[in-house]
Amino acid sequence: MSKIALITGITGQDGSYMTEFLLEKGYRVYGLIRRSSHEPTDRIQHLLSKIEILDGDLTDQSSLGAAVQTVNPDEIYNFAAQSFVPTSWNQPVLTADVTGLGVVRLLEAIHKYKSDAKLYQASSSEMFGKVKETPQKETTPFYPRSPYGVAKVYAHYITVNYRESYNLFACSGIAFNHESPRRGLEFVSRKVTHTAAKIKLGHTKELPLGNLEAKRDWGFAGDYVEAMWLMLQQDKPEDFIIATGQAHTVKELVQIAFDEVGLPWEKYVRVDKKLFRPAEVDHLIGDAAKAKQNLGWQPKLSFEEMIRLMVHEDIKSLSKTAAAAPFTEFRIR
Ligand code: NDP
Ligand code: GDR
């Protein structure tokens, strides 16, 4: 019998890669999608005939209860969140509601209607924020630096608490930044690769950026969903760091992307102070030794290969459209 998975945030980057991964493994996949005035399924368009969609929202308890009852899932992957850090300063209450409280609503639905379902909670390296230890491990204390990071800390601990209180099989993957050609245009990796591609094609002339010195441990989303799935295949529920163990600056990311299009980055990049954050996370680097040892997991695609691939895919898709897609920059108020 096929296993059944319920994915929240199925229209996002990780949701789309996880759907492909689970279909490949023979799962029946159900996705929870919130109501929108436009079609939000561009990342999963190619998968729609193979999956089932339910209407629901992480802020609505009854829709989560109904989804868990209807689907009766073996595994639940909770990717739904307000996931963009700058927006969390503009919309701190919504971020707390969706990214934080949304998780306790989902846990309540699982506890009530399917207490033997296994839950993957998408925890974040942003919980480490102003880091207490380098590299960061499962035992490193949290010090979040944004309303998003604070909401994720709540989500993380409420997952631990429901595991300990009710014996749920609930785990958190503390994932460091992971990117792909499906990454949202507002995140720095995709903003850089997409804009470098637009400059190459003559659609724009400059790339405004914030802090070029920030360092992140960037991996490939397609690799990370495997670690998330492996966590739910273990005998007991535990939390794991998912990271590459290598950090790069935003500047290095820019250099690789512009090298791929054969242009000098200094001519096009403009540092815009308005894109700096009220409180920055300067340097994140993860130690995924536990995932490597217990899950037998290894990231495959290198940072440089991934950035070059993203530029390549952006050039390909932009070349098909006459004009570049419009992109709305979110500024912190
Ligand atoms: P995305 O922003 O690409 O996707 C977020 C998803 O959440 C979208 O499907 C979105 O739907 C959905 N969503 C937002 N609000 C609600 C709501 N109120 N109810 C239901 N669904 C909602 O994120 P990623 O795929 O990159 O990340 C997946 C998860 O992993 C997130 O929780 C993120 O915080 C976390 N994470 C991500 C990392 C990364 O580097 N990518 C690293 C660590 C953690 P819609 O399409 O309608 O907007
Ligand atoms: P992050 O990702 O905040 O780490 O959260 P993002 O790509 O937005 O920023 C990474 C770093 O780049 C610096 N930066 C810029 N960032 C953006 N978005 N735009 C810019 O113009 C720019 N210039 C410099 C930022 O200051 C920052 O230091 C991501 C999200 O996916 C979260 O949901 C997830 O939890 C974490 O990764 C791990």
Catalytic residue among 148, 162, 224, 268: 148
Give catalytic status of residue 148 as yes or no. yes
Average pLDDT over residues 161-185: 98
Average pLDDT over residues 195-201: 98
Q: Give burial (CB, 10 Å; 0-12/13-18/19+) of 280.
A: middle
Structural element, H or E, at residue 30: strand 28-33
pLDDT band of residue 324 (cuts 50, 70, 90) is low
Collapsed DSSP state (helix, strand, coil) of residue 240:
strand
Interval 222-236: pLDDT, tens: 999 999 999 999 999
Give catalytic status of residue 120 as yes or no. no
Can you spell out the DSSP letters for 273-313? GGGS-SS---B--B--HHIIIII-----S-HHHHHHHHHHH
Amino acid at 201: L
277 lines ligand 2 (CB under 6 A): yes
Whether the Cβ atoms of residue 151 and residue 219 lie closer than 8 Å to each other: no
CA max distance for the chain: 58
- What pLDDT is attached to residue 322? 56
Interval 273-310: pLDDT, tens: 999 999 999 999 999 999 999 999 999 999 999 999 99
Structural element, H or E, at residue 254: helix 250-261
- What pLDDT is attached to residue 328? 72
Whether the Cβ atoms of residue 50 and residue 20 lie closer than 8 Å to each other: no
Structural element, H or E, at residue 216: strand 215-216
Query: CA-CA-CA-CA torsion for 32, 34, 35, 36, nearest 10 degrees?
Result: -120
Average pLDDT over residues 95-104: 99
The two tokens of residue 309 are 């691939």
- What pLDDT is attached to residue 201? 98
Q: How many angstroms does the Cα of residue 212 sit away from the middle of ligand 2?
A: 11
Nearest residue to 92 (alpha-carbon basis) of 282, 333, 280, 284: 333
Interval 100-158: pLDDT, tens: 999 999 999 999 999 999 999 999 999 999 999 999 999 999 999 999 999 999 999 99
Interval 215-264: pLDDT, tens: 999 999 999 999 999 999 999 999 999 999 999 999 999 999 999 999 99
Q: How many angstroms does the Cα of residue 98 sit away from the middle of ligand 1?
A: 10
Tell me the C-alpha distance between 250 and 275, whole Å.
13
Q: Give burial (CB, 10 Å; 0-12/13-18/19+) of 234.
A: middle
Ramachandran category for residue 217: left, alpha or beta (phi over 0 → left; psi -120 to 50 → alpha): beta
216 lines ligand 2 (CB under 6 A): yes
Give catalytic status of residue 124 as yes or no. yes
The two tokens of residue 136 are 């960061």
Beta bridge partners of 178: 219
* Nearest atom, ligand 2, residue 149 CA: 35
Question: Which residue of 84, 121, 177, 178 sits with most ligand 2 atoms within 8 Å of its CB, as the best mutation to test the pocket?
Answer: 177
Structural element, H or E, at residue 54: strand 52-55
Lowest mean pLDDT among 72-76, 162-166, 283-287, 327-331: 327-331
Whether the Cβ atoms of residue 115 and residue 74 lie closer than 8 Å to each other: no
* Nearest atom, ligand 2, residue 212 CA: 24
Catalytic residue among 16, 123, 124, 189: 124
The two tokens of residue 184 are 């949202």
Helices 102-113, 61-71: axis angle to 10 degrees equals 40
241 lines ligand 2 (CB under 6 A): no
Q: Of the ligands numbered here, which is closest to the C-alpha atom of 84?
A: 2
Tell me the C-alpha distance between 265 and 271, whole Å.
12
Q: Which domains does the chain have, with CATH numbers?
A: 4-179+219-242 (3.40.50.720)
Structural element, H or E, at residue 107: helix 102-113
Q: Whose CA is nearest to atom 29 of ligand 1?
A: 79
Tell me the C-alpha distance between 333 and 328, whole Å.
15
Average pLDDT over residues 5-18: 98
